[in-house]
Amino acid sequence: MLERTRSIHRKLLLVVATTTVAALTVAGIAMEFYDLRTYQQSSVNDLITQADILGRASAPALSFDDPRAAQENLALLKARPSITAAAIYTAKGGLFASYLEDGGADPKFPSLPEADGSRIEGKELVVFKRIVENDEILGTVYLRARYQLFERFKDYLGILSVVMVASLLVAILLSARLNAAVTRPILAISEVARRVVESRDFSLRVAKTTEDEIGSLADGFNAMLTEIGRRAEILEASNRELEQAKDKLRELNAELEQRVANRTAQLEAANKELESFSYSVSHDLRAPVRAIAGFSRLLWEAHADQLDAEAQRKLGIIQSETQRMGDLIDDLLAFSRLGRKEMQRSDLDMQEMARSMYERLHAQHQGPQVEFRLGSLPHAQGDRVLLEQVWANLLSNALKFSAKREKPVIEVSAISDAKEHIYFVRDNGAGFDPQYQSKLFGVFQRLHRADEFAGTGVGLALVQRIVTRHGGRIWADSKPNEGATFYFTLPKEVPDGSH
Amino acid sequence: MTSNMALSLRQLSRLLAFIGTVFIITTVLVPAPAPAEDNDALEQRVKAAFLYKFAGYIEWPQNLFSQPDTPITIAVMGDDPLAAELSQLVVGRTVNGRPVTVRKLRDIEPSAVVHILFVGRDDSARLGEVARALQPRPILIVTESEGALTQGSIINFLLVDGHVRFEIALDTAEKKGLKLSSRLLAVAQNVRTDTP
């Protein structure tokens, strides 16, 4: 604070001192120049006047050839100590009378007078002045005087420096007093600024003491404080509102989450109920279906020869439909069991799994030779039994729907991105119409007639359920008669919890 | 080399000019006194010049001159060579704007217009008579004889150490209404104010 004050003081002092010195120097140089010029002119004029007076006084002496009188006139120059030598020449150029100051050096009077004029010879001023009376040149006055231009210059310089030092001192003393008048209001403003920063009290104001630039600075500072105070209030108010809104949002969110949890629990309970219902239904259905199958077989074995051809055919239909009903119930049981069973996760070699599953299915398969292309599949985390089920269903579908091709081709491969592995199974079989894609993964949904391709319509629903439980997705694309590709993804990171 | 030559040429021309000037001054402006001319003749020439120059230091009564350019008349008695010399001297010259005329006087002509009257040594015996005849008139009487001031002369030439000097009778001049410049008095050998 003190350092800053000092620096402003110093600056102002510097300004004052510089201005004073500069102004005095310029004025001094101008005055000195003027004075020396005036000195020179007045010296010359003085000497010429002196010569003129001397000439007029000596005119009779020359007229009447009286050197004694001229000599007496010249002797009067003793009263003028600046004149070192003087002489009067006759019209014909002869030295008529001469004067030399006491103790003066070698006179060296010019041997001949010159025309009117003056000149500076070293440190002396020399003047020649004709004596004219009645248009007749009677003679010439010669004067030689000390010309102390340099001494005068030195004296002047001395006076100038004394004046400069004195006025510098006065200026510094005065400005030190005046400085306080300038700096005090500035210090007051900075003091208020410091207090505002410390206390964050925007209601503080600077007292305006002057009507000058500093006064307007104080006004501006006060206006700024008002504005900042207003802004701060608005900001605080909106902050408060925001905080309230956030609280409300948090409440709503918690409420929503609670509601979702409740609904989920209800849903899960309903699902469980439904699953156990379908399980018990399937389980309970099995017994009568087995009975029908058992008794129709007994009927066939014991009484086939008593039945005519028509009865045999109808019994055959009963047997095959009973078989189909049993298959449906088995699949339904498997599907419903899926939701009840805990998943056993482990690291799985998907490539090996797909290969062995294909070999097992292919061994049971009847039909043309199939070209099986197996790419490189990454390992995955999951339930071995469930994922084997996925491969089994997808590969058997591929075998089944490509069985009518002359050269069936089945390709299994995978691609990976940052989050997940995408496995796919592609065949060149019957394919399906993409507009029915949404029905593809529904339970008991079939896109082909049963006499065309066998199946219960539960397989893909089961696959979807398994993939979803692993945190993945499943989809397919196809065109009729151009084969189908089934994709499923498994996340690289194992999700917490398993459903 | 060239500049040296130029310098020396300039110096030479200056030297020649200086020599020429000195020659002219010594031969023309300051002619040595002709050997034929004796000291008396020289003395009379100086006196003639003085006579003319006196005119510039004298103030006559205002009514004496009708016009601003009315000539000043210098009359010479008893010294014809001086009168001749003076006549030559005043040609074309003026004193305070007035031309100067010279005339010789044989006798006193009380009515003649005369401002300065020179009475030569030859006529010094008649000085008293002349002075008395012209006494009230403002005429500057100049003489060249010892004791002339007591006989009515105002300026009297003397010879001091071979130089022409003069003495003045100021009271006589005042009586005649003539005013003599103090500058003239300053170069006078002797100024008298108590002439009998």
End residue of a domain, out of A145, A171, A197: A171
pLDDT of residue A201: 83
**Which amino acid is residue A439, in one-letter code?**
K
Same domain, yes or no: B15 and B109: no
- CATH number, domain with residue A371: 3.30.565.10
Tell me: pLDDT of A189 over 80: yes
Taking CB atoms and an 8 Å limit, are A134 and B95 in contact across chains?
yes
Tell me: pLDDT of B110 over 80: no
Greater confidence (B29 vs B48) lies with B48
Q: Does A112 touch chain B (CB under 8 A)?
A: yes
Tokens of B91: 């040609």
Q: Is A156 exposed, middle or buried (0-12, 13-18, 19+ CB in 10 A)?
A: middle
- CATH number, domain with residue B176: 3.40.50
Number of compact structural domains in chain B: 2
| Main-chain phi, psi angles of A102, to 5 degrees | -55, 130
CA distance B140 to chain A (A): 17
pLDDT band at A5 (very low <50, low <70, confident <90, very high): low
Is this prediction's pTM over 0.95?
no
For residue A57, which residues of chain B lie inside 8 Å, CB to CB? 183, 186
pLDDT band at A245 (very low <50, low <70, confident <90, very high): very high
Half-sphere exposure in the Cβ direction for B64 (13 Å, CA) = 21
Give the sheet arrangement for strand A409-416, strand by strand.
Answer: A371-374, A409-416, A420-427, A484-491, A474-478
Lowest mean pLDDT, pick from A53-62, A124-133, A175-184, B38-47: A175-184
Same domain, yes or no: B161 and B73: yes
Strands B155-160 and B163-169: antiparallel
Taking CB atoms and an 8 Å limit, are B46 and A92 in contact across chains?
no
Q: Does A88 touch chain B (CB under 8 A)?
A: no
For residue A56, which residues of chain B lie inside 8 Å, CB to CB? 183
End residue of a domain, out of A130, A146, A171: A171
- Summary mean pLDDT of chain B: 81
Q: Is A69 exposed, middle or buried (0-12, 13-18, 19+ CB in 10 A)?
A: buried
pLDDT band at A128 (very low <50, low <70, confident <90, very high): very high
Taking CB atoms and an 8 Å limit, are A136 and B96 in contact across chains?
no
Alpha helices, H only, B55-126? 80-89
Alpha carbon distance A430, A400 (integer Å): 9
pLDDT of residue A304: 83
Greater confidence (B124 vs A353) lies with A353
- Summary mean pLDDT of chain A: 85
H/E run at residue B77: strand B72-77
Mutate to test the interface with B, among A53, A54, A62, A63 (most CBs of B within 10 A): A63
Q: Write the pLDDT tens digit of every residue in A356-386.
A: 999 988 888 877 888 899 999 999 988 888 8
Q: Does A94 touch chain B (CB under 8 A)?
A: yes
**B26-55 residues touching A, CB cutoff 8 A:** 29-30, 46, 50, 53
Residue A52: give the domain boundaries: 2-171
Alpha carbon distance B134, B178 (integer Å): 14
Interface pTM (ipTM) of the complex?
Answer: 0.72
H/E run at residue A412: strand A409-416
Number of compact structural domains in chain A: 2
Residue B12: give the domain boundaries: 1-32
Residue A123 lies in a domain: yes
Tokens 């156990």 belong to residue: A276
Greater confidence (A236 vs B66) lies with A236
Alpha carbon distance A85, A493 (integer Å): 124
Alpha carbon distance A119, A121 (integer Å): 6
> Span B119-129, mean pLDDT?
85
End residue of a domain, out of A171, A192, A227: A171
Strands B98-105 and B72-77: parallel
Same domain, yes or no: B44 and B25: no
Tell me: pLDDT of B13 over 70: no
Same domain, yes or no: B177 and B159: yes
Q: Write the pLDDT tens digit of every residue in A34-52.
A: 988 998 898 899 999 999 9
Same domain, yes or no: B27 and B46: no
For residue A61, which residues of chain B lie inside 8 Å, CB to CB? 186-187
Lowest mean pLDDT, pick from A3-12, A90-99, A266-275, B14-23: B14-23
Greater confidence (A223 vs B65) lies with A223
Tell me: pLDDT of A121 over 60: yes
Same domain, yes or no: B20 and B45: no
Same domain, yes or no: B53 and B128: yes
Same domain, yes or no: B44 and B26: no
For residue B166, which residues of chain A lie inside 8 Å, CB to CB? 64
| C-alpha angle B167-B173-B176 in degrees, rounded to nearest 5 | 155
